[in-house]
């Protein structure tokens, strides 16, 4: 009896089946939706006990810096500058953590190189 050519069962080689393909397509769609929504999110962080607050977007863009009057000391401008940098960096860190968490939820912890 002659062997039939082609791929075994379902037409796909390597053990891929339609369910796995659908799951991968859903994961891809979920990832795209997450990334689009994430860009519009806003994150904020403060420093100096809350006297300086930075707000950034999910795209790592600085949106606003709020400085309370008690943070302004003409004799110590360097401290104010340091507080601004600290607040911005912490807000950016919050973006990165939220992005990683969202991707982990979508991929189920699989490392896909995102």
Give one DSSP letter per residue of 14-42, joined into a string: TT--HHHHHHHHHHHHHHHHHHHHHHH-E
E-assigned strand segments in 1-114 = 42-47, 52-57, 62-67
54 pLDDT exceeds 90?
yes
Strand partners, 53: 46, 66
In this prediction, residue 16 has a pLDDT band, given cuts at 50, 70 and 90, of: low
**What pLDDT sits at residue 42?**
97
Specify the residue for token string 């979508």: 106
pLDDT tens sequence across 90-114 = 999 999 999 999 999 998 877 655 4
pTM of the model: 0.72
Domain 42-105 belongs in CATH node 3.30.1310.10: yes
């Amino acid at each position: 009896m002659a062997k039939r050519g082609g791929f075994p069962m379902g037409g796909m080689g390597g053990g891929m089946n339609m369910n796995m393909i659908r799951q991968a397509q859903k994961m891809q769609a979920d990832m795209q939706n997450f990334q689009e929504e994430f860009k519009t999110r806003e994150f904020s962080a403060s420093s100096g006990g809350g006297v300086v607050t930075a707000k950034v977007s999910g795209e790592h863009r600085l949106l606003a810096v709020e400085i309370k009057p008690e943070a302004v000391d003409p004799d110590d401008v360097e401290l104010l500058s340091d507080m601004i940098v600290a607040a911005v960096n912490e807000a950016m860190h919050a973006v990165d953590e939220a992005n990683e968490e969202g991707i982990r939820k979508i991929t189920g912890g699989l490392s896909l190189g995102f």
